[in-house]
Structure 1
Amino acid sequence: MAFDLGTPINTALLLYILYTVQRILLPSNALPKTVPNEFKGGYSWMPKSHPPTLLYQTYTPKTLEPFDGKEGKRILLAINGVVYDVTAGRNFYGPNGMYANFAGRDASRGMAKQSFETDMLTPIDQPLDKLEDLAPDEIENMRGWMEHFSSKYIVCGKLAENDAT
């Protein structure tokens, strides 16, 4: 059985093989005409800027308060002593968001009790809420929120008592 270029199938197959070998041996080095913005265009693009970093640190209620998202600032909140950077959820936690009262605050009691009321927040000049009166289902609810936040947002610190002045 000899290879016959007279048949259309053999001719098409030979052309395909030659084209494939040419693409392997002589790949295109042309740059894309538009800046790709997703994986389909490849990894040859860089973001306009790197998101600002926030070092892990210890916060107090007073040092956490400025991170309330006002004037475009970062948004941090604490649950059970863990501080989360929730800036990516600005629509929820930023000014006029449904959880805005938790921004820059310890949200433990409010998250545990599923309440947005301001009386759920401990004043920033008071000792941290020990949460000793929470029912087991409320504690479990708070842990569920912590699991949700840990999977979605960056843990950026811990919450400690205010310094004695």
Structure 2
Amino acid sequence: MAFDLGTPVNTALLLYILYSIQRIIFPSNSVPQSVPNEFKNGYTWMPKSHPPTLLYQTYTPKTLEPFNGKEGKRILLAIKGVVYDVTAGRNFYGPEGMYANFAGRDASRGMAKQSFDEEMLTPIDQPLDKLEDLTAEEIENMKGWMEHFSSKYIVCGKLVENDAV
């Protein structure tokens, strides 16, 4: 099959190829005459302030308890020893949210049993709940919650016994 310049498509294609090669070999060195509009007043996409920096820390039930979201503070909760920063979900975990009793606490048993009751929480001055009496289905519930939290919130620490730190 021969290349025929007599057809308009082939002629247009040849001109486009020559133009593209010319642009690569001899690029334009001209400086724009004006500043683009989107940069005149600075960048509009920049955040107003940087979010607070989170350090991975070791928490005990006593040191985790102040992170309950009251007075606009950060909200942390733990599931099976993993501490999550759920501040972004303040509507759910904040003082007025439906999961508010889990804020600043170990929520393992409550998440496993799908219960918001206060008796699901281990008092902060007692040892961590070993969760030995959970059924296989409840353990799967808890693992599902951990996957959900890991994909949506920041893991910011681990929860250990009160005397372990």
Same fold by TM-score greater than 0.5 = yes
- Whether 1:63 aligns to 2:63 is yes
- Provide closer, same or farther for how the CA distance between residues 101 and 34 of structure 1 changes in structure 2, counting only shifts above 3 A: farther
- Provide closer, same or farther for how the CA distance between residues 31 and 112 of structure 1 changes in structure 2, counting only shifts above 3 A: farther
Residue 141 of structure 2 aligns with which residue? 141
User: Using the alignment, how far apart are the partners of 2:103 and 2:157 within structure 1?
Assistant: 15
Q: Structure 1: where are the runs of 5+ without partners?
A: 1-24, 36-42
Larger radius of gyration: 2
User: Using the alignment, how far apart are the partners of 1:110 and 1:75 within structure 2?
Assistant: 17
User: Using the alignment, how far apart are the partners of 1:100 and 1:114 within structure 2?
Assistant: 14
User: Using the alignment, how far apart are the partners of 1:49 and 1:81 within structure 2?
Assistant: 31
1:157 match: secondary structure: strand
Runs of 4+ in 1 over 6 A off after TM superposition: none
User: Using the alignment, how far apart are the partners of 2:153 and 2:97 within structure 1?
Assistant: 17
User: Using the alignment, how far apart are the partners of 1:96 and 1:88 within structure 2?
Assistant: 14
Output aligned runs, 1:43-82, within 5 Å: 45-82=45-82
Between Structure 1 and Structure 2, how many residues are aligned? 154
1:54 to partner: Cα distance: 1.3
- Whether 1:163 aligns to 2:148 is no
Output aligned runs, 1:116-131, within 5 Å: 116-131=116-131
Residue 94 of structure 2 aligns with which residue? 94
Q: Structure 2: where are the runs of 5+ without partners?
A: 1-26
Once superposed, what is the RMSD of the aligned Cα atoms? 3.6
1:66-97 Cα deviation digits (max 9, x unpaired): 00000010000000000000000000000110
User: Using the alignment, how far apart are the partners of 2:52 and 2:37 within structure 1?
Assistant: 29
1:25-73 Cα deviation digits (max 9, x unpaired): 77x96556578xxxxxxx7742111100110010000000000000010
Per the normalisation by structure 2, the TM-score is 0.76
- Structure 2: which amino acid aligns with 1:64? L
- Provide closer, same or farther for how the CA distance between residues 44 and 63 of structure 1 changes in structure 2, counting only shifts above 3 A: same
User: Using the alignment, how far apart are the partners of 2:72 and 2:36 within structure 1?
Assistant: 34
